[in-house]
Amino acid sequence: MELINAVPVRHPGRWVGAAFILLFVALAAQSLVTNKNFHWETVGKYLFDVLVLQSIGWTLLLTVTSMALAIVLAIFLAFMRQSENPLFRYISWAWVWFFRGTPVYTQLVFWGLVSVLYPKIIIGVPFGPEWFSFDTETIITALVAAIVGLGLNESAYLAEIFRAGLKSVDNGQMEAAEALGMRKSKVMWRIILPQAMRVIVPPTGNETIGMLKTTSLVLAIPFTLDLTFVTNTIANRTYLPIPLLIVAAVWYLVITSLLMVGQYFIEKHYGKGVDNVTMVPVKATAAAQAAHAGPPTAGNITARDTTEGGTP
Amino acid sequence: MTGTAAHTIPDASVKPMVNIAGVHKFFGDHHVLRGIDMTVAAGEVSVIIGPSGSGKSTLLRCINLLETISAGRIHVHDELIGYREAHGKLHDLSSKQIANQRREIGMVFQRFNLFPHMTALQNVIEAPTQVKHQSKAAAKLKALELLDMVGLSDRADFYPAQLSGGQQQRVAIARALAMEPELMLFDEPTSALDPELVGDVLEVMKDLAKSGMTMIVVTHEIGFAREVGDTLTFMDGGVVVESGNPRDIIANPQHHRTKEFLSRVL
């Protein structure tokens, strides 16, 4: 047998294009090194500054807590949207309409001002006697306002993502589970949601990375401890805005990269049984191994006559 | 599954396992079932055939409440399905009561509907552990027995996507049997299979029939009806056209619609 060894078609245009791109990359790299206005020594000085590191902690806290709040709300909103109770469906729809339809900046300013609107929070019988009351300011601190503001806004977007995920699961799954005597809530948590997660995780990862950067808007409340606000403050003090923008950008990129790694593993978990299915079992139990002399291999599975021919 | 004795033909003196009386079903204006009467005795294999749109699948789905009936009554083991009768009025059952009724009735679907995120074994133990709250170890033991019975003990740790259609359907049968139902419903269990995979599934169903399971089977497999069925019911246009001994009906159909249908599928 003579293997084909053909001469490939030449693509001179690709070489010209690549040469241009490399030229511009080299120019940009050279300017990064030679342009004194980048103030790299200032970048180095503030990259691990205590104030900056603390602000990263606050930014992470805001991202994680507001996303957690949004995910819990979104699950309920998505379930309510499928409810047989029309009031639940309307409320879910109206929630999404409102929180998606107004700017997150406006909502954050509102949560910062909520103690002006409602100076006291009163616990008691509706339209009846009051048991306790609190000053709103002591409950809705800037941190709480930031988390609630970001979380409620995000819940509207996530609710639509979750709804799409739930709708992506074949109706036969619900029927099969119900036919086995499973209650609807159990079917949702054990059968439908785990399958929907495959569709839900990628856009939710997108939203989480978006949220990381949306936290920079909390100055609207005002909440003044996050990464963007702190690096801006340092920049204003030192009159060196560019190196501190670089400091903030570096940290946002680092956190985004870590989130992407986490997303990879979550996607892998919820893709089991569907994505990248290989023709070997994930793990063989003792019983399965006993039934089979050796673990099944691609060979004896694809060969139909050995698997389908015999009668049980 | 070694039962060899042919199952007994229904005895009229014993109360039927399934009693369908005067059942109608509307989908909007569409009158799908137009007064169905049918009984199935314990241990009987009742085969329903008919052209598509005849209402045979809908009837099956009404028995375990995947559809609600518009008129009539369905009893399984003397228990009214879907409702409670009190003071001359019907009351809807709660979702919990409906789930309890469904536990006694196994169902096998045309498109298998295995849970794709679970292995074959996990599919089979899901309902026993989650609904009957059996221990995982006990459920596993029973599940491996069932998978062995359907000839798939070496596929326990495979995901549905790693199995052929015939293997998936056999896992689906094992999954339904794991709840130890007293009645099994089969909704065209071989219609989505490649022809060479049909035999294994029918073989499993035949064994199940021999073991004395009460079965209602909607199918196009006339050979299965003739060989395994105790009764054959031909439905068309939402009514039972003809019903009786499968061998008699297939050899000598009385009604011209039955004749016409059989001439097309045989």
- Per the DSSP assignment, residues forming a β-bridge with A132 are A123
Vertex B115, ends B110 and B117: CA angle to 5°? 145
A249 Cβ contact list (under 8 Å, min separation 6): none
Inter-chain residue contact A183 with B95, CB threshold 8 Å:
yes
Scanning the structure block, which residue is given the tokens 């990248």? A276
Inter-chain residue contact A191 with B115, CB threshold 8 Å:
yes
Give the ranges where chain A is alpha helix by DSSP (H): 12-34, 40-47, 50-81, 86-101, 104-117, 136-139, 142-167, 171-179, 184-186, 193-214, 227-238, 241-270, 286-291, 298-302, 304-308
With a cut of 80, say whether residue B230 has pLDDT above it.
yes
> Percent of chain B scored above 70 by pLDDT?
95
With a cut of 90, say whether residue A52 has pLDDT above it.
yes
Inter-chain residue contact B199 with A311, CB threshold 8 Å:
yes
With a cut of 70, say whether residue A285 has pLDDT above it.
no
Express each pLDDT in B124-153 by its tens digit. 999 999 999 999 999 999 999 999 999 999
Shortest CA distance from A184: residue in chain B: B95
CB B202 within 8 A of CB B170: no
With a cut of 50, say whether residue B212 has pLDDT above it.
yes
> Percent of chain A scored above 90 by pLDDT?
77
Q: Say what the pTM is.
A: 0.83
With a cut of 50, say whether residue A306 has pLDDT above it.
no
Task: Average the pLDDT over A142-153 and give the result.
Answer: 96
Inter-chain residue contact B164 with A304, CB threshold 8 Å:
yes
CB A284 within 8 A of CB B157: yes
B118 Cβ contact list (under 8 Å, min separation 6): A273, B126, B159
Long-range Cβ pairs for the range A75-83 (8 Å, 24+): A75/A162, A75/A193, A77/A155, A77/A156, A77/A159, A77/A162, A77/A163, A78/A159, A78/A162, A78/A163, A78/A165, A78/A166, A79/A188, A81/A159, A81/A163, A82/A163, A82/A166
Q: What is the CA B164 to chain-centroid distance, rounded?
A: 22
With a cut of 60, say whether residue B29 has pLDDT above it.
yes
pLDDT of res. A126:
86
Rounded to whole angstroms, how far apart are CA atoms A284 and B162?
14
Closest Cβ opposite residue A292 in set B154, B159, B204: B154
With a cut of 70, say whether residue B41 has pLDDT above it.
yes
Express each pLDDT in A54-74 by its tens digit. 999 999 999 999 999 999 999
Task: Average the pLDDT over B21-50 and give the result.
Answer: 96
When the pLDDT of each residue in chain B is averaged and rounded to a whole number, the result is 93
Radius of gyration of chain A (CA): 28
Rounded to whole angstroms, how far apart are CA atoms A165 and A228?
33
Scanning the structure block, which residue is given the tokens 């035949």? B206
pLDDT of res. B140:
97
Residue type at position B108: V
Closest Cβ opposite residue A184 in set B95, B153, B200: B95
Shortest CA distance from A311: residue in chain B: B200
Distance to chain B for A284, nearest Cα, Å: 6
Inter-chain residue contact A178 with B102, CB threshold 8 Å:
yes
C-alpha distances in angstroms, A242 versus A58, A212, A246? 22, 21, 6
pLDDT of res. A297:
45
Q: Which residues of B touch A285 (CB under 8 A)?
A: 121, 156-157
CB neighbourhood size of B190 (10 A): 24
What is the separation, in whole angstroms, between the first and last Cα of chain A?
Answer: 45
Q: What are phi and psi of B153, to 5 degrees?
A: -60, -25
CB A192 within 8 A of CB A44: no
> What letters, b where the CB count within 10 A reaches 16 and e where it falls short, cover B41-79?
bbbbbbbbbbbeebbbbbbbbbbbbbbebeebbbbbbee
CB contact residues (below 8 A), chain B span 132-171, against chain A: 140, 144, 148-162, 164, 166-167, 170
Rounded to whole angstroms, how far apart are CA atoms B178 and B93?
25
With a cut of 90, say whether residue A149 has pLDDT above it.
yes
Rounded to whole angstroms, how far apart are CA atoms A254 and B196?
55
Express each pLDDT in A74-106 by its tens digit. 999 999 999 999 999 999 999 999 999 999 999
CB A217 within 8 A of CB A145: no
Closest Cβ opposite residue A181 in set B121, B179, B196: B179
Vertex A136, ends A134 and A140: CA angle to 5°? 125
B189 touching A, CB under 8 A? no
Distance to chain B for A80, nearest Cα, Å: 17
CA pseudo-torsion sign A296, A297, A299, A304: positive
pLDDT of res. A131:
85
> Percent of chain A scored above 70 by pLDDT?
89
pLDDT of res. B9:
52
Task: Average the pLDDT over B181-208 and give the result.
Answer: 95
Q: Which two tokens stand for residue B19?
A: 């009693």
ipTM field: 0.91
Inter-chain residue contact B144 with A184, CB threshold 8 Å:
no
pLDDT of res. B208:
96
Listed range (A192-196, A308-312, B93-97, B237-241) with the worst mean pLDDT:
A308-312
CB neighbourhood size of B252 (10 A): 9
Q: What is the helix (H) or strand (E) element at residue B233, kind and residue range?
A: strand B231-236
pLDDT of res. B36:
96
